[in-house]
Structure 1
């Protein structure tokens, strides 16, 4: 019952927040605008799969995770700085219920933004494209929602672990930079130290598992499995020595072709969703542990 009260309060606060709705409205509008620009600027009309890949690339890997971090990083630290957290904690709520309630409320907001964009993109697809893979679009929208909610969990966990807005903001920016920008060269560097060479077309399974432990790469792996085609990371580094002809053939960069022998279960597409869920649990677990011992006075 206490958790429900916290969630209801969070949804009420979100509905009253003009800043949050402005941010989310800009995100959805920017996504639709980019889709229109790509369609108008392309020499040939993009296929349904290319349209979905663009949704997963710009929206999934850039716009929605950044919005998720913005929505989540002030969830608790903002109320701690204003002192309103003491009032909330004075009611019959445990700190864990406050944390989970904040997460559910913020996750609901970002999920609404993704679904709103999905509806708009679906409408555009029907109007602009000859054929629309609606099932794939729905599955990719679901994967994008899970990915964005993962970053909400990370941001709320950071917010619960810090006492100042500046540290929470730095933590949120650092999390995105680590997982989306520099994770690939870090993992490639580990491969070089162990194997003594750069990553080639075929690589050991542990390399792809270590790379997948980043939420960003778990997301691209999940979308690749849904579309049955390789979806590259938005911030991709030239750290792998792959022959140019491999890029020209569709599907050759799927993990099933780059790992010798049978693909391990932890590199199957469904396991990428498990990784994202694990990050939510880990971030909230660490945040809850630190939040329980924090001095709210």
Structure 2
């Protein structure tokens, strides 16, 4: 049975969080999110000849693409050297000389980085959320909350993957290469492979099998959780014909996203303690 002391975990987490505040990482990421979200919110409909906040549904649907590209990259860059960086600098043995287990060290680092990522995400999307609320009223509250919560969950899932990479990599160069490869696979290559399989099979492979494969990608889970719930735009993404009603259940998709947070982190803990 594992024995965990939360005091050293909180100490490590607080240090990681303070470091990100001190080097202005949280501020920089929040400003990036705020700037991009405001630009997309106001100019996302320019190609249709419209400028301004058209509707909350179209603004959020446009922001989904931004989040899928940016948040996984930021989370991977944030956590890829959390463990291997300490090992390469020679400070890992020093940290473990304190009354601190490997499990407590990894959990502390993850929680501190997760807090920094969560704060930057919330702060970054606060501006567009306030504008949507002021423009469209309380009716947008549910959509905005869903979007922000799932954005945080997407970031935490890729942060868990980053911690796993950091626990298994031999050095920072290997970890950074794996992080880039992971981002390319989940954000770009995965959907292309599914589309290629669908085309190559002449449409014979699809339906529940294809929809089930989407559970294997946290970026696709995030997209479905947000876009499938917006009746006005889900047909534009082709999700209405791909995702069966059973997998359109937000509780099912949310549980799958939670598994992407817990699963890689659990493997990272196992690997780091081995």
TM bin (shorter chain): 0.7 to 0.9
What SS is found at the alignment partner of 2:229? Answer: helix
Relative to structure 1, is the Cα distance of residues 268 and 123 closer, same or farther in structure 2, using a 3 angstrom cutoff? closer
2:264 matched to 1:278?
A: no
Partner residue, 1:292: 273
> 1:213-235: CA deviations, max 9, x gaps?
1111111111124324555xxxx
Relative to structure 1, is the Cα distance of residues 157 and 276 closer, same or farther in structure 2, using a 3 angstrom cutoff? same
Partner residue, 1:7: 13
2:240 matched to 1:254?
A: yes
Partner residue, 1:180: 187
Partner residue, 2:152: 145
After superposing the two structures, state which structure 1 stretch, 149-158 or 28-37, moved more: 28-37
Relative to the length of structure 2, the TM-score reads: 0.84
> 1:215-274: CA deviations, max 9, x gaps?
11111111124324555xxxxxxxxxxxxxx75xxx97425x764xxx33x452322222
Correspondence for 2:129 among 111, 122, 144? 122
How far is 1:126 from its partner? 4.7
Partner residue, 1:17: 23
Correspondence for 1:55 among 59, 63, 70? 63
Relative to the length of structure 1, the TM-score reads: 0.78
> 1:27-53: CA deviations, max 9, x gaps?
234324523651694632421211111
Partner residue, 1:268: 249
2:43 matched to 1:38?
A: yes
Q: Which runs of 4+ in 1 moved over 6 A?
A: none
The structure, 1 or 2, with the larger RCO (C-alpha pairs under 8 Å, 6+ apart) is 2
Q: Is the 8 A contact 2:160 2:265 kept in 1?
A: yes
Q: Is the 8 A contact 2:96 2:102 kept in 1?
A: yes
How far is 1:143 from its partner? 0.9
User: Structure 2, unaligned stretches of length 5 or more?
Assistant: 1-6
Mapped partners of 1:62, 1:124: distance in 2: 23
Partner residue, 1:239: none
How far is 1:186 from its partner? 2.2
Mapped partners of 1:86, 1:77: distance in 2: 12
2:141 matched to 1:134?
A: yes
Q: How many residues align?
A: 264
Partner residue, 1:240: none
Relative to structure 1, is the Cα distance of residues 122 and 29 closer, same or farther in structure 2, using a 3 angstrom cutoff? closer
What SS is found at the alignment partner of 2:170? Answer: coil
